Amino acid sequence: MASEKKVAENMLWGGRFTEGLDPIMEQYNASLPYDRIFYAQDIAGSIAFARANYNNGILTAEEFSAIQRGLQQVKEEWANGTFQVKPNDEDIHTANERRLSEIVGKEIGGKLHTGRSRNEQIATDMRLWLREELRRLEGYLKDLIKVAVARAEREIDVLIPGYTHLQKAQPVRWSHWLLSHATGFAAELDRLREVIKRVNRSPLGCGALAGNPFNIDREAMAKELGFDGLLYNSLNAVGDRDFVFETLQWGSSFMLKISRWAEDLIIYSSLEFGFVRLADAYSTGSSLMPQKKNADSLELIRGKSGRAFGHMAGLYCTIKGLPTTYNKDLQESVEPLLDHIKTVGDSMLIATGVLSTLTIFPDKMRAALAPEMLATEFADYLVRKGVPFREGHHISGRVVALAEKEGVPMDQLSLEQLKSVDARLGDDVLECLDYERAVELKSAVGGTSKSAVREQIEVLKGLIG
């Protein structure tokens, strides 16, 4: 095995090491297979750092421009797939620096890292990358809400049973259901915008832990990289992964909501409900049962939410016992983050696709409305005649009981039968059996009447701009 060991002197940090790495250790230690995704961010950070060191008098104008040109070439090599990974390229930072030195020579390349640490580099790279990803996801989330709002506007006349405990409760507009989820997604949009602000802070110039010894202009580097501001404590800046936690919390919260949304649609698309049908593009068949059309897209959304929560819980466990500032354990924050962003982003795209291509069956929805869902209307009717609600509730309960006793749905009771329950149920009581009326009566803000639903549409439109 010894012969396979790499000579540590060749590693960028190899000065004090005499023995090489065990090959398994080398692979265990390496993050390049996944942190190469940050190549452009790493190079942008290096150019900003070199510029600041030039302005500090640490690099000459010629050295800076050689480094800048060299790094640009490294970036092109990554972009066009010609970058040659070498065995000692431990991570994206060492790989980029090694290649830079090959291009511009060790004399100049070796000056890039003056006053700098990979600890600040990885934190900077991750934040820069994440900022862009979160902005992309913000766009996806807005699109999802947009589709829900557009359907809500178009399909405002359609009624469905509203459920509590998955029991038929009161009639509501289909649009109200659409907007209920869109409102939850909008809360995530709001949170996301907050998260982005805190992600977009610069740790660059904090060194390995103690700060920069050459009075580097951190503000200038932050500005060049498009950061909104600085992290103000170097120990904190290099050991902090709040920006990852917050992202994973946010993503988990979104996945929790989209999972419940998916569950509703899985139920609504079952043969028993038949309210909606998924487009072929988002369903699959069974290899055994030809009649089956499965809502795989929705089941995957529901399933992947568990995976997203796992990223969050896993990272909490990884970090909870770490001593102050950078420890190699922090490298383990990268992969969960990458997978989380992909999972959440893909789920948003799939959800938007499902919702925009969904067929609804208003007749089926209407047929599922049951007269019992109007029982409360009798109590409300009596309240309008001055009867205390508790008493009205009792009387409407007796209407339900009578229908049960007669073995007929509530709307099959005759006017006389209704009147026999209580004398205050007058000739106009039959209006209580009108679903549309029941829905339109819920006109206070947030309700399911047409006007209240339209108000919600406006609120959401304001948020997605």
Catalytic residues: 165, 286
- Answer yes or no whether residue 118 interacts with ligand ARG by CB under 6 A: yes
- What is the SS3 assignment for 272? coil
Query: Which CB atom, from 182 or from 238, has the smaller least distance to ligand ARG?
Result: 238
Q: How many residues of this chain bind ligand ARG (CB under 6 A)?
A: 11
Q: Give the shortest CB-340-to-ligand ARG separation in angstroms.
A: 16
Query: Which CB atom, from 330 or from 429, has the smaller least distance to ligand ARG?
Result: 330
How far apart are the C-alpha atoms of 266 and 285, rounded to whole Å? 15
Residue 161 in contact with residue 169, Cβ under 8 Å?
yes
User: x/- contact string, 61-100, with ligand ARG (CB under 6 A)?
Assistant: ------------------------------x---------
Long-range CB contacts (within 8 A, 24+) of 170-174: 170/373, 170/376, 170/438, 171/369, 171/373, 171/374, 171/435, 171/438, 171/439, 171/448, 172/439, 172/448, 173/439, 173/448, 173/450, 173/453, 174/360, 174/362, 174/365
User: x/- contact string, 26-45, with ligand ARG (CB under 6 A)?
Assistant: -----x---x----------
How far apart are the C-alpha atoms of 252 and 154, rounded to whole Å? 31
Q: Give the shortest CB-131-to-ligand ARG separation in angstroms.
A: 18
How far apart are the C-alpha atoms of 316 and 310, rounded to whole Å? 10
Sign of torsion, CA 167 172 174 176?
negative
User: x/- contact string, 316-335, with ligand ARG (CB under 6 A)?
Assistant: ----------x-x-xx--x-
Contact segment (CB under 6 A) with ligand ARG among 115-123, 146-154, 171-179, 393-401 equals 115-123
Residue 122 in contact with residue 93, Cβ under 8 Å?
yes
Q: Return the residue of 11, 12, 71, 122 that touches ligand ARG, per CB under 6 A.
A: 122
The residue type found at 259 is: S
Query: Which CB atom, from 304 or from 311, has the smaller least distance to ligand ARG?
Result: 311
Q: Return the residue of 46, 88, 101, 119 that touches ligand ARG, per CB under 6 A.
A: 119
> Minimal CA–CA distance to 410: which of 423, 424, 425?
425
> Minimal CA–CA distance to 38: which of 351, 455, 335, 353?
335
Query: Which CB atom, from 131 or from 151, has the smaller least distance to ligand ARG?
Result: 131
Contact segment (CB under 6 A) with ligand ARG among 102-110, 114-122, 152-160, 394-402 equals 114-122
Q: Give the shortest CB-97-to-ligand ARG separation in angstroms.
A: 12
Q: Give the shortest CB-241-to-ligand ARG separation in angstroms.
A: 10
Residues 130-159 that bind ligand ARG (CB under 6 A): none
The token pair that represents 379 in the structure block: 């109590």
Sign of torsion, CA 82 85 91 96?
negative
By CB under 6 A, name the binding residues for ligand ARG: 31, 35, 91, 118-119, 122, 326, 328, 330-331, 334
